[in-house]
Structures are given as C-alpha cells and as structure tokens.
Amino acid sequence: MTMATDRVDPSLSAIGLVTGVLRVARIDAAISVSFSFGGQSSGLVFRRA
C-alpha cells in the first residue's frame, strides 16, 4: 500500500497505486535495493520456491 497518500493525480491512474485499501495478490518475486554513503549498495532478490 502506498503510505501517507491522501490524493493521487488522475494522470497517474495507469500505474496502479494502492491507496487506503489492501490488495490481495500472490507475490512470486520481490526485490530490495539499499544504497548508502561511500558508494556502498546492495540488492536482494527473493523468489518463491
């Protein structure tokens, strides 16, 4: 869910923001990317077995 979003510009409706309600979905893969100072970065990909 997109947190702290009260109003959405109508021109953004095509990207499917989820506001105010939960959307049930099966997630088969997810990615987490982190960046920090000094050029340090990492990425994790999780996939359902």
Instruction: Give the model confidence (pLDDT) of 2-25 as tens digits.
Output: 677 778 888 987 887 877 778 888
DSSP string, 4-47: T-----GGGGGG----SS-------EEEEEEE-GGG-EEEEEEE
Using a cut of 0.75, tell me whether the model's pTM lies above it: no
Report phi then psi at 38, rounded to 5.
80, 15
| pLDDT > 70 fraction of the chain, expressed in percent and rounded | 96
Of residues 34 and 15, which shows the higher confidence score? 34
What is residue 2's predicted lDDT score, i.e. its pLDDT? Answer: 67
Domain coordinates in residue numbering, the chain:
10-47
Taking the C-alpha atoms of residue 15 and residue 18, their distance in angstroms, rounded to an integer, is: 9
Residue 19 and residue 1 in contact, taking contact as beta carbons nearer than 8 Å = yes
User: Which token pair is 21?
Assistant: 């309600």
